[in-house]
Amino acid sequence: MFPDSHSSLCLFSFLLQLSNIPYVTHRLPVLSVCSHPLFFLFSLTLHWDPDPSTLQLHSDSELMGRGAVRLGMSKLTQVDFLPKEMVSYSKETQTPTDALSQSDQKAGRQALFLSFFLLNSGLFTAVYTPKELTEEEKLQVLHSEEFLTFFERGSRIVERVLAEQVDVCFDYSGRDLEDKEGDLQAGAKLVLNRRFEDERWTKNRVVTCLDWSPQYPELLVASYNNNEDAPHEPDGVALVWNLKYKKPTPEYIFHCQSEVMSAGFAKFHPNLVVGGTYSGQIVLWDNRSNKRTPVQRTPLSAAAHTHPVYCVNVVGSQNAHNLISISTDGKMCSWSLDMLSQPQDSLELVFKQSKAVAVTSMAFPLGDVNNFVVGSEDGSVYTACRHGSKAGITEVFEGHHGPVTGLSCHSAVGPVDFSHLFISSSFDWTVKLWSTRSTRPLYSFEDSCDYVYDAMWSPTHPALFACVDLSGRLDVWNLNNDTEVPTASVGVDGGAALNRVRWSHTGREIAIGDSEGHVHIYDVGEVR
């Protein structure tokens, strides 16, 4: 049935009115009516104009294709910069009265503890079952002071005993020595006694200095420069070797951060070893401390040395002594061994007010603490004095054509005073003999065919001196015998360049350091 026109017209007008009313179009659906006159054919098309946020959510999940976002903990990132280790040395000067009472108390306490423990462990069975220590307790024991002291001493003693190889079948009548070796030994003048080297500490290093201990004639300190093949090992090493026992390892191992160019036992302090380094620092090692690093160091400042220190020496007497050090820029500092934080005295060694002396070697004549001689890189030897109005360089001795490498003042004591004599070795292949009384050399020993690296007078025999050169030769000259050629000469095995020579204080042994880190000890026989 067709709807009658009146009702359709009403509907149409009502709808028109509806569309005219202003309302929020987003909230309510807007109906649009198809304007076809045939109302039964009109259709309603609904267009949703929804909230944009809801639309977004819908499309998001459609696009990304994931539901809830899964979160997890990431790995922990850590950054660590470790603090620098500061080595400190403290010295106590407490008088011993307090310490006595403390040790008494300690002994009393220990006795009490022991008795208590014994009581507890059972009256009938005195069996002590060892208690298993925890890891922490073990570490604590290993790091305690007492254990470290005991271990250092104990391990040294055990090493000596293990290396002992004594021949119990030796026949003193000499019947067994029928081979030539015996004959040669009887008449030989220079015989190799020992060779010291260490796989870890001396390989690839050059021996820079040697010194015998004044207190224990069997101890020898040798200093070494850096090992280029091992950049992580310390640059400067000083080892104390022991001649008395057959153990092949060093008695004490000391090291520091910069190459050690000179070293020596401190003369009136038997426990201290002094070293002068490439950086200009003077370091002090103490064999009472269980540390291998220096216990005291001079500061790296302009007040001290800033150039390599090639000469260190303790001069003076028991009560009044100083450590003298000279660096290659001509600065001479004197230090007190108790306080290395600043020099007691410093002096610039300049020649003729302007030319600084590049010092490579230094020597004090016997018994003299004021006057000394220095050798420099320009080939001249200078005498100088430490105190007084003429402090500084006094005279120049010219004669060498190359840098002076070693100096030695005559030190043998005897009826005639030869303390004004000194010898110098140089790159010009010669060793020259001088007197402090004259600026021209007294004599020139020209037997060597290579750089002469060091020379030293014998401390006991007034006419003997030894020198070493780059070709691996050790020459011992006897001036009573012959001044043209050395009286005894031996080539060191291996042919390495020899850097240093030092007579022992008894005058019966010579220690030689070479460029491969070996220290050779030669026994000196009858050198007449």
Partner 1 sequence: MEEYNSGDDVLFNTDENSALVKECIEGVIGGADYDHSKVNQWTAGIVENSLTHLVKQGRAFKFIVNCAIMQKSGAGLHTANSCYWDTTTDGSCTVRWENRTMYCVVSVFAVAL
Q: Which residues bind partner 1 (CB under 8 A)?
A: 69-84, 86
Q: Which is nearer to partner 1, 82 or 320 (CB)?
A: 82
Q: Which is nearer to partner 1, 56 or 480 (CB)?
A: 56
Q: Which is nearer to partner 1, 77 or 318 (CB)?
A: 77
Question: Minimum distance between the CB of residue 71 and partner 1, rounded to whole angstroms?
Answer: 6
Per-residue b/e over 314-339, b at no fewer than 16 CB within 10 Å?
Answer: bbeeeeebbbbbbbbbbbbbbbebee
Q: Which is nearer to partner 1, 85 or 145 (CB)?
A: 85
Q: Which is nearer to partner 1, 68 or 416 (CB)?
A: 68
Q: How far, CA to CA in Å, does 255 sit from each of 9, 86, 285, 463?
A: 115, 16, 9, 37
425 forms bridges with which residues in the sheet? 406, 431
Rounded to whole angstroms, how far apart are CA atoms 514 and 469? 10
Question: Minimum distance between the CB of residue 89 and partner 1, rounded to whole angstroms?
Answer: 17
Give the number of C-alpha atoms closer than 13 A to the C-alpha of residue 230, restricted to the C-beta side: 15
- Per-residue DSSP letter, 134: P
Question: Minimum distance between the CB of residue 250 and partner 1, rounded to whole angstroms?
Answer: 31
Closest among 335, 331, 365 to 266, alpha carbons compared = 335
Q: Which is nearer to partner 1, 84 or 175 (CB)?
A: 84
- Per-residue DSSP letter, 257: S
Rounded to whole angstroms, how far apart are CA atoms 397 and 380? 6
List the Cα angle 513/518/522 in 5-degree steps.
65
Question: Minimum distance between the CB of residue 65 and partner 1, rounded to whole angstroms?
Answer: 11
Q: Which is nearer to partner 1, 74 or 129 (CB)?
A: 74
Q: Which is nearer to partner 1, 84 or 180 (CB)?
A: 84
Which residue, chain included where needed, has tokens 């690839």?
Answer: 204
Rounded to whole angstroms, how far apart are CA atoms 194 and 318? 33
Rounded to whole angstroms, how far apart are CA atoms 440 and 425? 15
Q: Which is nearer to partner 1, 84 or 437 (CB)?
A: 84
Rounded to whole angstroms, how far apart are CA atoms 450 and 237? 28
Question: Minimum distance between the CB of residue 329 and partner 1, rounded to whole angstroms?
Answer: 24
Question: Minimum distance between the CB of residue 80 and partner 1, rounded to whole angstroms?
Answer: 5
Question: Minimum distance between the CB of residue 83 and partner 1, rounded to whole angstroms?
Answer: 3
Closest among 106, 226, 202, 139 to 516, alpha carbons compared = 202
Question: Minimum distance between the CB of residue 476 and partner 1, rounded to whole angstroms?
Answer: 50
Q: Contact at 8 Å (CB) between 310 and 361?
A: yes
Q: What does the chain come to in residues? A: 528
Q: How far, CA to CA in Å, does 106 sit from each of 116, 144, 350?
A: 15, 17, 60
Question: Minimum distance between the CB of residue 70 and partner 1, rounded to whole angstroms?
Answer: 7
State both tokens at 453. Answer: 């690296």
Question: Minimum distance between the CB of residue 60 and partner 1, rounded to whole angstroms?
Answer: 13
Question: Minimum distance between the CB of residue 118 and partner 1, rounded to whole angstroms?
Answer: 48
State both tokens at 435. Answer: 């007197």
Rounded to whole angstroms, how far apart are CA atoms 375 and 410? 16
3-state SS assignment for residue 436: coil
Rounded to whole angstroms, how far apart are CA atoms 134 and 136? 5
Q: Which is nearer to partner 1, 256 or 466 (CB)?
A: 256
Q: How far, CA to CA in Å, does 409 sit from each of 267, 280, 376, 477?
A: 17, 25, 16, 15
520 forms bridges with which residues in the sheet? 195, 512
Closest among 409, 483, 497, 488 to 450, alpha carbons compared = 497
Q: Which is nearer to partner 1, 85 or 229 (CB)?
A: 85
Q: Which is nearer to partner 1, 83 or 130 (CB)?
A: 83
Question: Minimum distance between the CB of residue 286 and partner 1, rounded to whole angstroms?
Answer: 24
Rounded to whole angstroms, how far apart are CA atoms 62 and 17? 41
